[in-house]
Amino acid sequence: MSDLLSSWAEAPFTDGGLTRATFRKGSGPGVIVIHEIPGITPKVAAFAEEVVAAGFTVVMPSLVGTPGREISGGYGMSSMLKVCVAKEFTNWATGQTSPIIGWLQALARTVHAECGGPGVGALGMCFSGGFALGMMVDPVVVAPVLSQPSLPFAAGKKRSADLNLSPADLAVVRERVASGCEVLGLRFDQDKLVGTRFDTLRRELGDGFLAVELPSATKRDHSVLTEQRDDASVQRVLAFFREKLLADN
């Protein structure tokens, strides 16, 4: 394990025949932080450390890549290729929930059983950005955050607007939002990888979708919480987790 993650407890988690490494640190209610491409980079780990310092038990699953490895062009491309061929992710199809969601829901239930609190927070970035929507089909997830959601790949009008959810799961998400479970979303406003999903989220979730849309400084601006980090957005996420997970503590 990278020295960067030496203070984190590494353990495998298995559900439905799928096993992935997880990294855990902190105390308090649980938050699942799901990395972007290419993997758990130093900046992803640094953001997770801030969530720990805010009073939470953070669990980071490693879905692709080498935990702790610095980002680079070649590394990013190899991780992207793995995402493209992995059966756990729905990259191109519309109206489908990525199969990895069932595994992430099981992880969230386990973390909640161990950590207590009103529920669990879930945050995805980039290819995992929309996973928190699918996770909130399970009522244990009470603080879902979507940072630059990018699946399915935004090629064509239909894919650009798709939320990576089956119609049945979208119906449950709508019901949960109508019952008071807000969804926080973050993106740079000229990020082509996000497509028109924020428009879809506004239409489907109404006032229950809390959008943070930042002006893009360059065409490459994408990673709101890490590579092109916006400090105010990081604080907004931490405040959201405190509001939803620590209010009764």
Task: CATH number of the domain at 207, please.
Answer: 3.40.50.1820
Q: Number of folded domains in the chain?
A: 1
Q: Which long-range contacts (CB under 8 A, 24 or more apart) does 196-203 make?
A: 196/157, 196/160, 196/161, 197/130, 197/149, 197/160, 197/161, 197/162, 197/163, 199/161, 200/161, 200/162, 200/163, 201/146, 201/163
In-domain check, residue 249 = no
Per-residue model confidence (pLDDT) at position 1: 57
Q: Going by C-beta distance under 8 Å and a sequence separation of 6 or more, which residues neighbour residue 224?
A: 125, 147, 148, 186, 187, 188, 212, 214, 230, 233
Provide the domain limits for residue 163: 3-242
DSSP-assigned states of every residue in 76-92: HHHHHHHHHH-TTS--S
Per-residue model confidence (pLDDT) at position 221: 97
In-domain check, residue 192 = yes
Prediction pTM value: 0.96
In-domain check, residue 91 = yes
The residue with tokens 């890490």 is 226
In-domain check, residue 248 = no
In-domain check, residue 247 = no
Per-residue model confidence (pLDDT) at position 247: 75
- For the chain, 249 residues long, the average pLDDT of each consecutive 10-residue run is 88 97 98 97 97 98 95 92 92 94 98 97 97 98 98 95 97 98 98 97 98 96 97 98 86
In-domain check, residue 162 = yes
